[in-house]
Chain A
C-alpha cells in the first residue's frame, strides 16, 4: 500500500517538474523573441541615418519630417527594454517613416531615380522584419500567458512566481504595406 502512495507521489512530482520546465522553456522563448525584435529595431535605427542621407538631397524643403524622424528615433532608443513604452515609441517612428516615404513618392526626380527602388525595398524589408518579429513575440507571449492562467500549470506558476509578459502592441495599421512596384 505504502509503495502505491509513494509511486503516486513520485509521479505527481515528476509531472510538476515537467510543467515547471515547460514554463521556463516558454519564458525563454518569449525572451528570445524579444531579443529578435530588439535586433530588428536596432537595425532600423542604424539604417535611418543612411536612408535620410540618401534622400536628403532631393527633399531640402521637407526638413520638418527629418527633424521628426530624428526625434522619434531618439525616443525609441531611450525607451530601451520597457515593452509598452518601446512599442509606442517605435510605432511613432514607423508612422514618421511612412510619412517620409509618401513625401519621397511625390518628388519627381527621386521617383524616377534608381535609388528609389532600393530605398523602397530597404524600407519594406525593415518594416516587415519588425512586423514579423513582433508577430512571433506576441505569439510566444500568448502561449506563455495562456499557460500561466490555465490549470494545472497555473499552480506551478503561482508557486514559483512566474509573471505574465506584456504584448508588443502597436497601432492597428502597423504592418506597413509599401506599394513596391516591379
Chain B
C-alpha cells in the first residue's frame, strides 16, 4: 500500500513534465552561455590585442602608401590612446590585486579590470560574427550532411513498410501542427532514427531499416513523435548553434597551429569556403572535423615535432625555433586552458543540457501520441550498446538514442564524457511517471519511489561513503582552478605584450 501511494505521489502529467524540463533547459542554456563567454574571454585575451595590432599595421601601411596619410595617422593615434587606456587599467588591476590582502581590497580591483576588458572587444565581436556565419552554414547543410554521413536513400514506392513509415510520419506531423518531414531510409540493421534540417518548418527524418523491421507501426510512430517534437522544440537550431560554437573555437585555435600543421591551413580554407557558401552541404562534417582537430590533444604533437628540430639540427634548428618560442608558449597555454575547460566544465554542462532536451522531447511526444506506453516499448527495443549506425558518430545530437560507450565523433571533439541522451532506464522511469505501464518502467518507478521513501537514510549513507573522497575532490578542484588561473594569466600577459606593440611610434 505504501509503495503504491509513493508511485501515485510522483505521477506527473506530460504538461508538468514539459514545464519542468523547459525551465531546467533554459537554466542550463544560460549556464552554458556563461561558460562559453568565460572561455571566449580567455581566448580573446590574445586575439583581441592581436587584431588591434593588425589594425594599427594596416593603418600605418595605408599612411605609408599615401592614402589619406593624415587621417590614417590620426586614427592610429586614437587607437593607440584607446589601447594605452586599457593597458593602464590592466596594470592598475595587477597592482591592486597584488597589494590586496583582504577580500574588500581584491574587490576594488574589479572596476579597473572591467575597464581593461575593452581590449577583448574586437576578438569577442569577431568570434560572434564567425559563430553566426558558421551557424547559418550548419543550419543550411544539416540535412545534406546527415544524408551523406549515413548514406541515406529515398523510400521505395513499392515497399509496403516504407510507405507505411511515410504515412506515420505525416500523421504525427499533423498532431504537432508542423509540415510533414521528408523521410529517408538508412540501410543498416541498427535500431535508430535521427532528424536534421534548418528548422522545424523544413525537416528530414532519417530512419534505419532495422528500426522499421524491429518495431511495429505504433512504436515507429512514437519514435517519430519524439523526433518531430524535438524539431518543434527548436533542437535543430540549437544543434547548429552548438556545432558552430565548436567550429568557432576550433577556428581560433587553428590559427595557433598554422606554423606546425598543414591540416590547420586546410581547415581554415574550408572554413572560408563554408562562410562564402562555396562548400557543398554534404561536406559539412569535414569542415567541423578539420576545425576541431586543433582542440584535440593530438594537435600538440605537431608542435612538439617542430620543437624537436632544435635537437636534431643543433645550431641551425635552435636558431629557427627561437623566434617561434613565445608563439609556442602561448599556443601551449591556450590549448591547455581550452582542453581543461571543455573536459571538466563545458562538456558536463553541455551533456546535461542536451539530456534535458531529450526528456523534454519525450514529454512532448507523449502529448502528441497521448500514449506513453508505445514510446516506452519502442525505447526498450532500441536500447543497446550498438545503436548508432555507421557514420552516425558525428551526428549524435540528431539521434533519439546514443549509447554511452566510447567517446567518438562529436563527443570526442567536444570532450563530453557522458552521453548526449539519457540512459534508456531513466527515460523509461520518466515515462512510467507519465503513465506507461510497461513492466520494466513500472518496476523502475517503484524502485525510485522506494529510494525516495528512504531519503534521509540514503543521504546519510551517501555522505558516509563520500566523506573520505572529499579531500581528494577538493584537491582536484583547487588544482584545476590554479591551472586555469595560471593559463589565463599567461594569456593575459601575452595579450598585453602584443597590445603594447600598437604603442610603438
B217 engages A40 (CB within 8 Å): no
Give every chain B residue within 8 A of A124 (Cβ-Cβ).
167, 217
Instruction: Out of B163, B170, B175, B216, name the residue touching A136 (CB < 8 Å).
Output: B175
For the A-B complex, the count of residue pairs with Cβ-Cβ distances under 8 Å equals: 42
B160 engages A129 (CB within 8 Å): no
Mask, A115-159, CB within 8 Å of B = 1, is 001100100110011001101100010000000000000000000
Q: Give min CB distance, B261 to chain A, whole Å.
A: 52
B164 engages A36 (CB within 8 Å): no
Q: Is A182 in the interface zone, CB < 8 Å from B? A: yes
Q: Is B323 in the interface zone, CB < 8 Å from A? A: no
Separation of A129 and B172 alpha carbons in the complex (Å): 8
Separation of A118 and B368 alpha carbons in the complex (Å): 25
Separation of A117 and B164 alpha carbons in the complex (Å): 11
Mask, B163-199, CB within 8 Å of A = 1, is 1100110111011110000000000000000000000
Which residue of chain A lies nearest to B173 when distances are taken between CB atoms in the complex? A132
Separation of A129 and B168 alpha carbons in the complex (Å): 9
A117 engages B370 (CB within 8 Å): no
Q: Is A32 in the interface zone, CB < 8 Å from B? A: yes
B171 engages A128 (CB within 8 Å): yes
Total number of A residues with any Cβ neighbor in B under 8 Å:
19
Q: Is A180 in the interface zone, CB < 8 Å from B? A: yes
A135 engages B175 (CB within 8 Å): yes
B216 engages A129 (CB within 8 Å): no
Instruction: Out of A36, A117, A132, name the residue touching B160 (CB < 8 Å).
Output: A117
- With A33-B177, A135-B370 already in contact, the answer to whether A129 and B170 are too (CB < 8 A) is yes
B216 engages A133 (CB within 8 Å): no
B171 engages A129 (CB within 8 Å): yes
A132 engages B174 (CB within 8 Å): yes
Give every chain A residue within 8 A of B160 (Cβ-Cβ).
117-118, 121
Separation of A29 and B177 alpha carbons in the complex (Å): 9
Separation of A118 and B157 alpha carbons in the complex (Å): 13
Mask, A10-41, CB within 8 Å of B = 1, is 00000000000000000001001100100010
Which residue of chain A lies nearest to B176 when distances are taken between CB atoms in the complex? A136
Separation of A29 and B190 alpha carbons in the complex (Å): 39
Q: Give min CB distance, A153 to chain B, whole Å.
A: 19
Give every chain B residue within 8 A of A33 (Cβ-Cβ).
177
* Residue of A32, A36, A135 with highest tally of chain B CB at under 10 A: A135
Give every chain B residue within 8 A of A128 (Cβ-Cβ).
167, 171
B174 engages A125 (CB within 8 Å): no
A32 engages B177 (CB within 8 Å): yes
Which residue of chain B lies nearest to A118 when distances are taken between CB atoms in the complex? B160
Separation of A133 and B175 alpha carbons in the complex (Å): 6
Give every chain A residue within 8 A of B217 (Cβ-Cβ).
124, 180, 182
B164 engages A132 (CB within 8 Å): no
Which residue of chain B lies nearest to A40 when distances are taken between CB atoms in the complex? B174
Separation of A125 and B170 alpha carbons in the complex (Å): 9
B171 engages A125 (CB within 8 Å): yes
Which residue of chain B lies nearest to A177 when distances are taken between CB atoms in the complex? B218
B132-146 at interface with A (beta carbon < 8 Å): none
Separation of A32 and B160 alpha carbons in the complex (Å): 31
A36 engages B177 (CB within 8 Å): yes
B167 engages A121 (CB within 8 Å): yes
Q: Give min CB distance, B216 to chain A, whole Å.
A: 6
Separation of A142 and B171 alpha carbons in the complex (Å): 21
Separation of A45 and B183 alpha carbons in the complex (Å): 26
Separation of A142 and B252 alpha carbons in the complex (Å): 50
Which residue of chain B lies nearest to A127 when distances are taken between CB atoms in the complex? B171
Separation of A128 and B217 alpha carbons in the complex (Å): 12
Give every chain B residue within 8 A of A29 (Cβ-Cβ).
177
B177 engages A129 (CB within 8 Å): no
Which residue of chain B lies nearest to A136 when distances are taken between CB atoms in the complex? B177
Give every chain B residue within 8 A of A136 (Cβ-Cβ).
174-177
B174 engages A36 (CB within 8 Å): yes
A166-182 at interface with B (beta carbon < 8 Å): 180, 182
* Residue of B164, B172, B370 with highest tally of chain A CB at under 10 A: B164
- With A135-B370, A180-B217, A182-B216 already in contact, the answer to whether A129 and B174 are too (CB < 8 A) is yes
Separation of A37 and B172 alpha carbons in the complex (Å): 13
B174 engages A121 (CB within 8 Å): no
Give every chain B residue within 8 A of A40 (Cβ-Cβ).
174
* Residue of A36, A118, A136 with highest tally of chain B CB at under 10 A: A136
Which residue of chain B lies nearest to A180 when distances are taken between CB atoms in the complex? B217
- With A33-B177, A182-B216 already in contact, the answer to whether A132 and B167 are too (CB < 8 A) is no
Give every chain A residue within 8 A of B168 (Cβ-Cβ).
125
A132 engages B216 (CB within 8 Å): no
Separation of A40 and B168 alpha carbons in the complex (Å): 14
Which residue of chain B lies nearest to A117 when distances are taken between CB atoms in the complex? B160
Which residue of chain A lies nearest to B166 when distances are taken between CB atoms in the complex? A125
B10-43 at interface with A (beta carbon < 8 Å): none
21 pairs, A vs B, C-beta closer than 8 Å: A29-B177, A32-B177, A33-B177, A36-B174, A117-B160, A118-B160, A121-B160, A121-B163, A124-B167, A124-B217, A125-B167, A125-B168, A125-B171, A128-B171, A132-B172, A132-B174, A133-B174, A133-B175, A136-B175, A136-B177, A140-B177
Hey, which bits of chain A sit against chain B, CB under 8 A? 29, 32-33, 36, 40, 117-118, 121, 124-125, 128-129, 132-133, 135-136, 140, 180, 182
Hey, which bits of chain B sit against chain A, CB under 8 A? 160, 163-164, 167-168, 170-172, 174-177, 216-217, 368, 370
Instruction: Beyond A121-B160, A129-B171, list 5 extra A-B contacts (CB 8 Å).
Output: A32-B177, A124-B217, A128-B171, A135-B368, A136-B174
Which 9 pairs across A and B sit closest by C-beta, in order of nearness?
A132-B175, A125-B167, A132-B174, A128-B171, A133-B174, A136-B177, A129-B171, A132-B171, A180-B217
